[in-house]
């Protein structure tokens, strides 16, 4: 997922996407533990996507907190 796509998401969409990606990460880790998955770098990519989504959510929360003061 690209940063430009992430920036355009609302808070609710970010929360939903984070939950979806975390579930995907658990499934990938489980599949990799049972037998080697075809592309193990997908695990790293999913972790980075989660980090990007979480960072954007934090930015939006901080922005809304400063606007309400």
In this structure, CATH architecture of domain 3-68: Orthogonal Bundle (1.10)
Question: DSSP characters for 20-53?
Answer: HHHHHHHHHHHHHHHS--S-THHHHHHHHHHHHH
Q: Kind and range of the H or E element at 6?
A: helix 3-7
Q: Tell me what pLDDT residue 2 has.
A: 86
Q: Tell me what pLDDT residue 22 has.
A: 98
Tens of pLDDT, residue by residue over 36-65, are 999 999 999 999 999 999 999 999 999 988
* pTM, to two decimals: 0.90
Using the predicted structure, report yes or no on whether residue 69 has a pLDDT greater than 80: no
Q: Tell me what pLDDT residue 26 has.
A: 97
Only one residue has tokens 């355009």, namely 8
């Amino acid at each position: 997922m690209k940063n430009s796509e992430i920036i355009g998401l609302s808070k609710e969409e970010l929360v939903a996407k984070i939950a979806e990606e975390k579930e995907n990460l658990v499934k990938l880790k489980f599949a990799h533990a049972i037998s080697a998955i075809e592309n193990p770098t997908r695990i790293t990519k999913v972790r980075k996507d989660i980090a990007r989504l979480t960072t954007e959510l934090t930015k939006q929360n901080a922005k809304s907190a400063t606007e309400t003061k």
